[in-house]
Structures are given as structure tokens and as C-alpha cells.
Amino acid sequence: MGQINSFEKKVFSQNGEDGVIEELFSRIGTVNRFFVEFGVEDGMECLTHNLWVHHGWSGVLLEGSQFHYQNLANNIAPYPQVRASQQFVTRDNIGQLFQEMAVPVEFDFLSIDIDGNDYWVWQALDAYQPRVVVIEYNASYPPPQNMVIPYQEDFCWDGTSYFGASLCSLTTLGKKLGYALIGTDSQGVNAFFLRKDLLDVAQFAELSPESAYHPPNYGPDNGGHPHRSGPILDI
């Protein structure tokens, strides 16, 4: 059993996620080479860029900002197998958006990074069965802390530590949805979840939040974003 961090490699991803994603799919194979990613900005530094440029994958990109979306549309123009839509994702509209974009029930890769309601949106996708899920976690709340921001439909991140959910809370949700935590990137940004039926073939161990956790290594406040208090849920 190996751990994911030894495979980190940056191609277009923010950190070393590209290498981990490549290694994962070299082990588990693919069913349709289809991805969904939301919160991609202009698409140049995201977790699926490497898949559609170098591996020929198709899929869907969702971006809420009109400014970023204009640049995104230009950047994916040479890749007709990639579709994009300007949408502010919520837990109430994500199912409909998946239907409108003809996302299959089972697909290979889902990436969630919307700097806020990530937990709630993943929870709302229980009708879908992506094989690998990568989701941003709030590393300012280390294990064994549970922390989820209360759902607020129009939540917009203000650059502080008040966003998203802790690794413990996401791991608990993942288990309910049928996923195993297999690691986090070394900068303390993204958590990797594998559908449990694929653990044996992947030969990655299911990890506890304590053993998978990496502290934040991206901001000025003890490695994280400036601290901000706010209401949180212990789930």
C-alpha cells in the first residue's frame, strides 16, 4: 500500500494534484474518461486541465464569475469535448445543472472547489457516483475538529479562514456517500476520496483524518488564511 503524496506532480494544478490523479487512474482505469469540475476560474490552473489537454478526457466545467467565464470559454475553445457553463453552484441547483449538462450517473472524476458551500453541494450529489472525488478542505480546523459553515446560498468567500468544512466533517460525509479518504495534498488544500468499491484495485489504504491531514501551507496566518470567527456546525 502506498501513499498518494509520493506521486505529486504539478502540470496545471495548483499543487501536486495532477500527479496523484494520473497515478490513481493508472491503477483503477476509467469507465468513460468524463469529469466535472466547478470553481475553475479561467480553467488554466485547475485539476482537470491536464486531463483534457494531455489525456483527451471530456467533461463539464462550471464557473460562477462572469469575468472568469469569458476567459474560460476562450481557453477551452480548442477542445470541443469540454463544455462550460456560467453558473453559481448551490446545493439546490446542482442536480438540475448535472441533468442539463447530461452528466452520467457514474463518471470518473469530480472536483469541488467553491470556497464555501463545498460540503453541502457534495451532500446534494448523492444520486451520482463519481469514482474519484477531490474536494477542498479547511485545514485551519485540524482533526479531530468537526467544522462545517452553515449553508448560505449566496455565500462568497472573503479571503479568511471562514469557509468550507474540516477534513473530519468531509470524511464523515464521504463515508455516508460511499467514499474512503485516501489522502490530502501536501499543501493542505485538497482531500482525495475514492469510491469504496475501488479500494482493492487502487491499492491505496483508507486513512483516518488524523493520518491523512496536512496543515495549511498557503497563507500568512500560521500557514492559513487570516482568521475569522463565524457560526459553525459540529457535524
> What does R_g of the chain's alpha carbons equal in angstroms?
16
Long-range CB pairs of 97-100 (<8 Å, 24+ gap) are: 97/62, 98/36, 98/125, 98/128
Q: How far apart are CA 27 and CA 41, in angstroms?
A: 29
pLDDT (tens digit, 9 = 90+) per residue, 33-62?
Answer: 999 999 899 999 999 999 999 999 999 999
Q: What is the pTM of this model?
A: 0.97
Write the DSSP symbol of residue 39.
-
Give the chain's count of helices (H) and strands (E).
8, 7
Domains in the chain, please, with CATH? 4-212 (3.40.50.150)
pLDDT at 1: 41
pLDDT tens track for 147-164: 999 999 999 999 999 999
